A and B are shown apart, each in its own frame.
Chain A
Amino acid sequence: MALVEFFQMLPVWLGRLLNAGWGEMDYGWAWFLGHFTMILIFDVVLLVLIAYLLLADRKIWAAVQMRRGPNVVGPFGLLQTFADLFKFLFKEVIIPAGANKVIFVIAPLITVILAFAGWAVVPMADKWVVSDINVGILYLFAMSSLGVYGIIMAGWASNSKYPFLSALRAAAQMVSYEVSIGFVIITVLLFAGSLNLSDIVRAQSTTGVFALANWNVFSILFPMLPIFFVSALAETNRPPFDLVEAESELVAGFFVEYSSTPFLLFFLGEYLSIVLMCAMCSILFLGGWLSPLNIWPLNIPELGIFWFLLKICFFFFMFAMVKAMVPRYRYDQLMRLGWKVFLPTSLLWVVLTAAYVLVFHSNA
């Protein structure tokens, strides 16, 4: 049963169970209640996942530098993120006197809402998706490209030098790398023949034993994964492309003036979009919820979510390792990489993939 159907039936079942007379609820309300519950549960699970991925990020970073990392709050530091959460929540919100107050407060909200909104179309397993829309990948692309607004608005509304410089950098950087992300996405959807994320995953499935041989990363699209991964680093302002918050030049970048909960929202939004990018990498190239081998206990559909989370964790580990190991790029190097290396390569690959699909795929 699909996740959506389960949650739509949930209030109906509940009504029958309690025999309270609302078992005969009309479809509209059941739809609304079911979706509301589903989205609530989905977001809470996502937040807990983010809390532990954040801890993992810090632990990996510490391990590379031969430190212990957070290990005080709870066993092995497992509750560190929650301690941080309460610290951010209980501190005072400071809004600078010269700031444009409305935009200053809206900016972190926009960041976190957009980061959450992108998750609506991500298929966790077969049919396990909040909204299975036909233009899912365009929607994801739109949501990730809108992330720049939170940063620009924060930088401008702070009415301060460093945040403003950071906002200008962010605008240039994110617009530049969106171009190559867009072309990589075009190659994948040429290959899959669909804009629906579930269909893109299904296009990578096969009945052979070595199912992973049919994943996009092992097809003609293989050079697109590194390009997508590096562009995702730049798009989410992760090191080595964190020029937006380069502390040696811009203090802390666009959130210099932010404190307590608004800062927490920026932080949360950043990690949500990082994990979203990991999810996109695994859906587009590593076959989403598909098992790597078509052997009985591994390929049962219920394990789909496990494989998907495993792939997300793999890409998140890569993100964390890059942060720990690679020094920050200079701004001109960043622009050169985006416009002079990634753009021509991905453009060429769009043409190559189109030719390949025309010649080798029978449905073209």
Chain B
Amino acid sequence: MFEAIAFYFFSAILIASALMVIAARNPVHSVLFLILCFFNAAGLFVLAGAEFLAMLLVVVYVGAVAVLFLFVVMMLDIDFAELKRGALQYLPLGALIGLVLVAELVMAGSAWLLKPPVLAARAHATPEGVTNTAALGHILYTDYIYYFQIAGLVLLVAMIGAIVLTLRHRPGVRRQVISVQNARTAAMAVNMVDIKPGEGA
């Protein structure tokens, strides 16, 4: 009973805040509702026994990605009311995509009804005697090691690509060289000059 209450609590807030993400007038409020959304999704992961994923969701999405979202949204001065004016005309397309997603979820969720052998392939979040983290590690680093490595490489390429795209070499920029600064001594920095009255240096 306790788990059911927790599940409906997290789900209700998740759906309500997901709606508010697109309904809120102020974009900063939208991002804050998105964060609330992530939190409740993490709560659902914990209920499912996937504690590692729950913590990763909080650390990566809430702790890093959403901070950058918030950062950008706060800095931009966009009139979102203007942007949203024609949004309703995309409603049919959005509804279609939503329907496709729902259909896929239902097919994935009810696979064991349509095809009973699939039942055996379902993995429990926490198998006997192993923690959720260890179970994920075993799957990622043994069964799917190549896919995992390729995913890492794709991310690396994306990161380097982003750096290369935004890197600009401007001529004439004066850069600080910390080692040179640290190597300075009093003798190099101060020059004592004896100036006679009435004369320049």
Is the beta-carbon distance between B59 and A142 smaller than 8 angstroms? yes
A139 is an interface residue with CB less than 8 A from chain B: yes
Chain A interface size band reads: 20 to 34
| With contact pairs A145-B63, A156-B28 given, residues A138 and B55 touching in the complex (Cβ less than 8 Å) | yes
A146/B32 in contact, CB under 8 A: no
* In the complex, chain A residues 166-183 whose Cβ is within 8 Å of any chain B Cβ: 167-168, 171-172, 174-175, 178, 182
Segment 44-59 of B: residues with Cβ below 8 Å from A: 51-52, 54-56, 58-59
Binds B, one of A50-58, A89-97, A147-155: A147-155
Residues of B within 8 A of A153 (CB): 32
Closest to A332 in B: B176
In the complex, which residues 62-98 of chain B have their Cβ closer than 8 Å to any Cβ of chain A?
62-64, 67-68, 70-71, 74-75
Task: Check B133–A134 contact: CB distance below 8 A.
Answer: yes
* A141 at interface, CB cutoff 8 A: yes
Q: Does A135 contact B (CB under 8 A)?
A: yes
Distance between Cα atoms of A164 and B77 in the complex (Å): 14
Q: How far is the CB of A280 from chain B (nearest CB, A)?
A: 15
B11 at the interface (CB under 8 A from A): no
A135 touches B67 (CB 8 A): no
B14 sits at the interface (CB 8 A): no
Give Cα distance in the complex from A167 to B75, angstroms. Answer: 11
Q: A195 and B70: CB pair below 8 A?
A: no
* Cβ < 8 Å to B, chain A residues 309-342: 332, 336
A133 at the interface (CB under 8 A from B): yes
Q: Could you tell me the dominant secondary structure of chain B's interface residues?
A: helix
Residues on B with beta carbons closer than 8 Å to the beta carbon of A178: 63-64
**CA–CA, A332 and B54, complex, Å:** 34
**B2 CB within 8 Å of chain A:** yes
Interface check B165, CB cutoff 8 A: no
- Chain A, interface SS category: helix
Q: Quick one: closest A residue to B75, CB to CB?
A: A168
Are A138 and B56 closer than 8 Å at their CB atoms?
Answer: yes
Separation of A168 and B58 alpha carbons in the complex (Å): 21
Residue A305, interface by CB 8 Å: no
By beta carbon, the residue of chain B nearest A336 is B178
Chain A: minimal CB distance from B25 (Å) = 12
Contact between B63 and A134, CB atoms less than 8 A apart: no
Alpha-carbon distance between A153 and B51 when the two chains are bound, in angstroms:
28
Contact code string B82-124 (vs A, CB < 8 Å = 1, else 0) = 0000000000000000000000000000000000000000000
Q: Mark A202-237, 1 if CB is under 8 A from B, else 0.
A: 000000000000000000000000000000000000
Interface code A63-81, partner B: CB below 8 Å = 1, 0 otherwise? 0000000000000000000
Across the interface, do B63 and A142 meet the contact criterion of CB distance under 8 Å? yes
B34 sits at the interface (CB 8 A):
no
Does residue A28 face the partner (Cβ distance < 8 Å to B)? yes
CA of A148 to CA of B75 in the docked complex: distance in angstroms?
17
> CB distance A133 to B51 under 8 Å?
yes
Q: Is A103 an interface residue (CB 8 A)?
A: yes
Given the complex, which residues of B lie within 8 Å of A332, measured CB to CB? 176
> Do A156 and B74 form a contact, CB below 8 Å, given A138-B59, A142-B59, A145-B64?
yes
Within B144-188, the residues touching A (CB, 8 Å) are: 176, 178
Nearest A residue (CB) for B64: A175
Docked CA distance A332–B177 (Å): 12
Contact of B58 among A103, A142, A171 (CB under 8 A): A142
For this complex, 18 residue pairs linking A to B, each with C-beta atoms less than 8 Å apart, are A103-B32, A133-B51, A134-B132, A135-B51, A135-B55, A135-B132, A138-B55, A138-B59, A141-B55, A141-B59, A167-B74, A168-B75, A171-B70, A171-B71, A175-B68, A195-B52, A195-B133, A332-B176
